[in-house]
Amino acid sequence: MVSLNSYLILSAILFAIGTIGVLTRRNAIVIFMCVEMMLNAVNLTFIAFSKYLGNLDGQIFVLFVMTVAAAEAAVGLALMIAFYKNRESIDVEDMNMMKW
Amino acid sequence: METLFFLIVAAIAVITSILVVANKNPLNSALSLIMTFFCLATLYVMLEAPFMAAIQIIVYAGAIMVLFVFVIMLLNVRTEAARRGKHALFLGTMTGLLLLIQTWYTVGRGSLAGVRGPVDSALIAKVGHTELLGTALFTDFLLPFEITSILLLAAMVGAVILSKKKL
């Protein structure tokens, strides 16, 4: 029997790796993928808690997180295509049009 | 046996997620991320949530990652020429590690509440995971479910408008 803490620590490791990716990469698509990874780490926490508390509410929440992630991916990738059309790059260092 | 299996799957998940961050080519990152999602789906099966595992593979590894790979290939993004400077790399890694230590400490201190809900392995085996989820989704969570449809509609319209030729 795997304990709840193992799942939580695995989830924490995945979340930390996702954070490192968001903070250190420059490619906007890779940053986006790291955000998806962080969302998945949280989903793992929800499902682990749901199993060990005997309550299905966590899994319903995971369904909603997945919906939001899908919507976010669609809009975010459309934004990236629009940005690429303007600037010929998806480097986050080039995203400075709103800088004063 | 179960612990050994968990350790193997967890190790693969951690290694592939490190590869997502470390790979220079975005396409390799995307493929590593798909592997991470598959490992998470395996863990969901171990946590007696087979429906969530199926959704994880269909929606995440299927739909969302196909979208990512499609955009990477459409934009023809080459290997990034320059990474962030040494300072940003160091500070980012330190922030991530700090977050990890903090979470680890908090997780180690707490314990699970004594109150248990009605769902256990026997009920899931008898009624079925999908049916339990469906019942909860269409009774207790009906309003959030309906709002989700509006969110998806808004996202669809947004994506179409944003990728028009003349913005």
The predicted-structure confidence for B95-149, as pLDDT tens digits, reads as follows 999 999 998 898 888 777 777 888 888 888 888 889 989 998 999 899 999 999 9
Question: Coil, helix or strand for A27?
Answer: strand
Task: Give the model's pLDDT for residue A3.
Answer: 86
Question: 3-class SS at A91?
Answer: strand
Distance CA B52, CA B42 (A): 10
Percent of chain A with pLDDT over 90: 57
pLDDT digits (tens, 9 = 90+) for B1-50: 889 999 999 999 999 999 999 988 889 999 999 999 999 999 999 998 99
Token pair 């190790």 is found at: B11
Percent composition of chain A: helix, strand, coil (DSSP 3-state, to 5): 80, 0, 15
Give the residue from B144, B69, B20 showing the smallest Cα distance to A18.
B20
pLDDT at B156 (0 to 100)? 92
Provide the strand spans (E) within chain A.
Answer: none
User: What pTM does this model have?
Assistant: 0.91
* First CA to last CA distance, chain A: 56
Q: Which of residues 29-88 of A touch B (CB under 8 A)?
A: 29-30, 32-34, 36-37, 40, 43-44, 47-48, 50-57, 59-60, 62-64, 66-75, 77-82, 84-85
Each residue's pLDDT tens digit, A33-70: 999 999 999 999 999 999 988 888 889 999 999 999 99
Q: Which residue has the higher pLDDT, A49 or A98?
A: A49
From the candidates A6, A24, A79, which should be mutated to test the interface with B, based on the most B CB atoms within 10 A?
A24
Task: Please indicate whether, in this complex, the C-beta atoms of B29 and A73 are within 8 angstroms of each other.
Answer: no
**Which pLDDT score, from 0 to 100, does residue A12 have?**
94
- Tokens (6 digits) for A10: 């695995």
- pLDDT given for residue A9 in this prediction: 92
**Residue A22 pLDDT:** 92
Is B81's pLDDT higher than 60? no
